[in-house]
Amino acid sequence: MSVLWAASPAQAQQSFRAQLNENFRRDSSTAAPILASVRAGAQLIGSDVGGRWMRITLDGWVWAASLESTSQDGFDLRVRVSGGENLRRSPNEQVVAELREGCLLSEVGRQGDWIRVRREGWMWGQSLESVSGVAAPPEPTAGPVIDQTELELDRAVVADRAALRGLPDGDTTAVLGAEASVRVLARSGDWVRVQTEGWLREDELRAGSPGVLVGVSGAEVRSRPEEFVNKVVQWTVQLIAVQRADEVRYDIPAGQRYLLVRGPVPETGFAYVTVTDEQVDQFEQMEPLTELVILGRIRQGRSRYLGNPVLQLVDFALREN
Q: Are residues 116 and 177 in the same domain?
A: no
Q: Are residues 187 and 253 in the same domain?
A: no
* Domain presence at residue 200: no
Q: State the pLDDT confidence band at 146, using cuts at 50, 70 and 90.
A: very low
Q: Are residues 33 and 108 in the same domain?
A: yes
Please count the other Cβ atoms lying within 10 Å of the Cβ belonging to residue 176: 18
* Domain presence at residue 109: yes
Please count the other Cβ atoms lying within 10 Å of the Cβ belonging to residue 103: 28
The arrangement of strands across the sheet holding 191-195 comes to: 155-157, 181-188, 191-195
DSSP secondary structure string for all residues of 176-195: EPTT-EEEEEEEETTEEEEE
Going from the C-alpha of 107 to that of each of 78, 89, 95, 102, 304, the distances in angstroms are 10, 15, 18, 15, 42
Question: Strand, coil or helix: what is 221?
Answer: helix
Q: Are residues 110 and 14 in the same domain?
A: yes
End-to-end CA distance of the chain: 44
Q: Which domain holds residue 182?
A: 155-195
Note the pLDDT tens digit of each residue in 216-272.
Answer: 899 999 999 989 998 999 999 999 999 999 888 888 988 899 999 999 998 999 999
Q: Are residues 8 and 127 in the same domain?
A: yes
What pLDDT score does 143 carry?
Answer: 42
What pLDDT score does 156 carry?
Answer: 77
What pLDDT score does 9 carry?
Answer: 45
What pLDDT score does 10 carry?
Answer: 45
Q: What are phi and psi of 92, to 5 degrees?
A: 70, 5
Distance CA 41, CA 16 (A): 9
* Domain presence at residue 137: no
Q: State the pLDDT confidence band at 145, using cuts at 50, 70 and 90.
A: very low
Distance CA 32, CA 98 (A): 17
Q: Are residues 62 and 15 in the same domain?
A: yes
How far from chain centre, in Å, is Cα 302?
A: 22
Distance CA 231, CA 215 (A): 13
* Domain presence at residue 138: no
Most confident of 167-176, 190-199, 300-309: 300-309
Q: Are residues 243 and 165 in the same domain?
A: no
Q: Are residues 181 and 77 in the same domain?
A: no
Closest CA to 4 of 43, 62, 52, 54: 43
What pLDDT score does 209 carry?
Answer: 61
Note the pLDDT tens digit of each residue in 126-136.
Answer: 888 888 754 45
Going from the C-alpha of 194 to that of each of 69, 165, 175, the distances in angstroms are 30, 10, 13
What pLDDT score does 6 carry?
Answer: 38
Q: Are residues 254 and 313 in the same domain?
A: yes
Predicted model pTM: 0.51
**What CATH number is given to the structural domain containing 266?**
2.40.50.140
Domain end, chosen from 99, 116, 131, is at: 131
Q: Are residues 180 and 250 in the same domain?
A: no
Q: Are residues 85 and 180 in the same domain?
A: no
* Domain presence at residue 261: yes
Q: What is the number of domains present in the chain?
A: 3
* Domain presence at residue 238: yes
Q: Are residues 191 and 267 in the same domain?
A: no
* Domain presence at residue 280: yes
* Domain presence at residue 163: yes
